Amino acid sequence: MSQGVCRKKKLFTAQGREEFGRLSLAPWASRRRQELLRILDQLNPVIDELARAMQQEAERRADAARLMTHPGVGPVTALAFVLTLGPLERFERSKQVVSYLELNLKERSSGDKQHTHSISKQAPS
């Protein structure tokens, strides 16, 4: 960025990485760049292997596979949702799911006045 180059995710494409390697940097910055790229090269195969395993597990579970048909829902989100909720048959209504996940609105009532506020929690405790 100090060289006037801001690529964000594109930095990790072949073209972005090539451009990053051509940048003229101070000796220590250049050394650090090489170290980080070496670490990235070591981590990428491990990440790819985990991503494949996650995809396979999500596809193996019918409920997770069904969730992944929705735009924006990938294997991580689908599996997290399925494994957090467990069998859906144990819930009679959607309100019970919301309550189980503790995503219900915080409410403060007094007399005939009812005030709802933000979500009380973000996940089961």
Tokens of 67: 């969730």
pLDDT at 26: 87
Rg over alpha carbons for the chain, rounded to the nearest Å, is 23
Name the pTM for this structure. 0.62
Tokens of 35: 């170290």
Distances (CA, A) of 48 to 13, 41, 52, 91: 15, 11, 6, 36
Rounded distance between C-alpha atoms, residue 7 and residue 93, angstroms = 46
Greatest CA separation found in the chain? 71
- Ranges 18-22, 27-31, 33-37, 51-55: which has the least confidence: 18-22
Residue-wise pLDDT tens digits, 61-88: 999 999 999 999 999 999 999 999 998 8
pLDDT for residue 20 is more than 60: yes
Rounded distance between C-alpha atoms, residue 87 and residue 78, angstroms = 14
Q: pLDDT tier at 4 (50, 70, 90 boundaries)?
A: low
Percent of the residues in the chain that have a pLDDT greater than 70, as a whole number: 82
